[in-house]
A and B are shown apart, each in its own frame.
Chain A
Amino acid sequence: MASEIATELAEQVDRALADAADVSTLRDLEAGNWPAATWDALVALGLNGALVPEAAGGVGLGFSDVAPLMEVLGRHAAPVPLAESIFANALLSAAGITPPEGVISFGAGQGAIAWGRHASHIALLDGARIALYPAAALAWEVGGNIAHEARDRARIIGAPVAEAVLPNGWGAEAALLATALMRAGQIAGAMQAALALAVDHANTRKQFDRPIGRFQAVQQQLAVFAAETSAASVAAAAAARAVDRRGLAAAAFEIGCAKITVGEAATRGAAIAHQVFAAMGITEEHQLHHFTRRLWSWREEGGSEAFWAKRIGQEAQALPGALWPFITAREEEITP
């Protein structure tokens, strides 16, 4: 479970985002403008090094501590890559590279890199090998997900400033696993925001002389949304806990299960949100789509439900014994 410090930090980020970003920031971002003021407000909290050990100059938090932070970022559809920077810092520092200041993101292989064009540095992973490139060493083929968040492909045109290999516990899939973990938490947060909007709308929009939330059909749909939102949050937190206990690579099972859970939850939740908002929710002007388009996008990043379902299914099929003992042993053989 998240420590008190972590809850406090999440609240700080919550306030900072409430002050330094709003719907117009999100619109600006979609128009291609970098929200420098928002980034400055967040970076001032000193959280880039959240997952970097204190001995290495970081904040020394665990993955469980950072889970509520990811939710907050999702709840605000944060228009800056604090999540990416936190995880890039963690990866670099695990490999013994001192993370640079500033906006920093990470990616693997030929894949799109979240916020690439806005970063001053990029950590590029090739299996367990990690190299730190300054922006000047990369040329970008810009792209975006369906929420118009920058998802850019890098061509290397210069030399890295540092290269190293991740220790064993981080494994050859560190970029994939870190992305999945990050997006799982953000999806939970974005669902909380979309649910709150939908509930508020149900209590205020009137048809047939009463708030639509008085109709049982609407109530029952929102109850399902709430249940899926809780499931997403629990799944993201449980995956983070597994990483704290056994390391990133050995928590692939939990991360995969979480990503399936949040992906399915996002699909259901986004659909219900739009049903409750009806035409209003389809407009560009309304803020709902900033959350739902992110939910749809983030399902794809760090492995989709289909990707993980196949892997988790194969892992379960390959078990020497039954499924149940496998699931329980993962929680109980390792004491924290």
Chain B
Amino acid sequence: MAGLRFDLRDAPEGAAELRAEVRAFLAEHAPNFTPEIRARSWMGFDRDFTRAVGAKGWIGMCWPREFGGAERSFLERNIVLEEMLAAGAPVGAHWIGDRQSGPLILRLGTEEQKRHFLPRIASGEYAFCIGLSEPDSGSDLASLRTKAEKVDGGWKLNGRKIWTTFGHLCDWMIALVRTSPAPEGGARHIGLSQVLVNLRAPGVHIRPIRDLVGEKGFNEITFDDVMLPEDALVGQEGAGWAQATSELAFERSGPDRYLSSHPLLEAAMTTLKQDNAAAPALGRQVARLWALRNMSVAVAGMLEDGQDPVRQAALVKDLGNDFEQALPNVVRDLIATEDMPEDMRRMHAYLTQIVPTFSLRGGTREIMRGIIARELGLR
């Protein structure tokens, strides 16, 4: 069960100063954060805000300077992420690039790719989206069918991705696609590769899908003979499955897996300050938040040490999702929705509708628990 071990990490040197700097920056921007923006958390998309974050050096901040990074540690980066989420800042335009696309390119990209993409992600110029899910391939991702065929001068892409968050607003997608047929009767994850897709390329059709709140968050993206250059391939041809799974450790490990509802908890704290009866329920939320934070920081420490904490990340995601998902209901047990101040009521309304996604996006609760069960030796 070594994959379920967590070692506490102390705050990095200069933590308080960095945090203060991020807070001062956020205080400047906070007047623009409507209750809906705060409730959307990292599902809020704002290019201007992202460029301002980039100008501070807080996107790709662990990357080498030559690629636009700031050579800060994962634990320092974690401080920036925590503060952004706690404030409900609209970080969606750089979240994916900073969290997983950039790190993937840094780890496996060619020199050319690193020079081109990383500085542009770090400045906030390029926004990335994730091209994994397909209409018939969700949890069973290895069954995906989108295909890139090797042709003269590059690759020809055909197929369809779905649920692509911000696909209609982004510039690039890293897609997991089939580049050679799965061996007869063999493992389906053989023959998959990751490719960079320019979303403005001819043959890319993007159809936004309205979500239950009425917003355009995710998309269906169809590829019709889309021509990709030779160097669209990221990493090794055929190794896409292993690459994408270790990318998921980045996707699942962060504070975005327990802080998505945080602005609502703060609002509840403020509104219920004088309410004696609310103290026990609030105390339990505080304790859980504190414990999850210690676990999440431990995972950031493992990333810092170059480990691959896939299982710990799945575990914190599962516990964290439960926590952030339950919050709206905990809160409405303490104060009736009609008695909530306007701002709080709007955040609560938004979150009530959107929290079911927390245990879906990034891999479902059942899939997370399957990963943990495997580590326990049950599968």
Q: For B368, what are the chain A residues with a Cβ–Cβ distance below 8 Å? A: 223
Q: Mark A189-232, 1 if CB is under 8 A from B, else 0.
A: 00000000001001100000000011010111011101111110
Cβ contact of A317, chosen from B273, B288, B298, cutoff 8 A: B273
Instruction: Report the minimum CB–CB distance from B367 to chain A (whole Å).
Output: 10
Whether B132 is near chain A, meaning CB under 8 Å from some CB there, is no
Residue contact A308 to B295, C-beta cutoff 8 Å: no
Residue contact A222 to B288, C-beta cutoff 8 Å: no
Cβ contact of B283, chosen from A1, A202, A235, A311, cutoff 8 A: A311
**Quick one: which of B10, B286, B379 has the most chain A CB within 10 A?**
B286
> Could you say which of A10-18, A120-128, A283-291, A319-327 contacts chain B?
A319-327
Instruction: Report the minimum CB–CB distance from A302 to chain B (whole Å).
Output: 14
CA distance A308 to B285 in the complex (A): 12
Residue contact B287 to A261, C-beta cutoff 8 Å: yes
Q: How many residues of B contact A (CB 8 A)?
A: 58
Whether A105 is near chain B, meaning CB under 8 Å from some CB there, is no
Whether B354 is near chain A, meaning CB under 8 Å from some CB there, is no
> Could you say which of A39-47, A75-83, A251-259 contacts chain B?
A251-259
Whether B52 is near chain A, meaning CB under 8 Å from some CB there, is no
**Quick one: which of A237, A324, A325, A328 has the most chain B CB within 10 A?**
A324
Residue contact B281 to A234, C-beta cutoff 8 Å: no
Known contacts A322-B266, A328-B82: A231-B291 contact under CB 8 Å: yes
Q: How many residues of A contact B (CB 8 A)?
A: 57
Residue contact A203 to B378, C-beta cutoff 8 Å: yes
Interfacial residues, chain B to chain A (CB-CB below 8 A): 1, 4-8, 10-11, 13, 15-16, 19, 23, 82, 86, 262, 265-266, 269-270, 272-276, 278-284, 286-295, 298, 312, 315, 318-319, 366, 368-370, 372-373, 375-379
Instruction: Report the minimum CB–CB distance from A273 to chain B (whole Å).
Output: 13
Q: Told that A219-B376, A312-B286, A325-B23 touch, could you supply 10 new A-B pairs with CB distance under 8 A?
A: A213-B378, A219-B369, A219-B370, A234-B294, A234-B295, A260-B284, A312-B282, A312-B283, A313-B280, A327-B290
Can you sample 6 A-B contacts with CB below 8 Å? A230-B295, A234-B298, A309-B279, A317-B279, A327-B289, A331-B10
Residue contact B290 to A254, C-beta cutoff 8 Å: yes
Residue contact A328 to B19, C-beta cutoff 8 Å: yes
CA distance A219 to B371 in the complex (A): 10
CA distance A332 to B278 in the complex (A): 29
Residue contact B10 to A336, C-beta cutoff 8 Å: yes
CA distance A313 to B290 in the complex (A): 13
Residue contact A331 to B283, C-beta cutoff 8 Å: no
Q: For A216, what are the chain B residues with a Cβ–Cβ distance below 8 Å? A: 366, 370
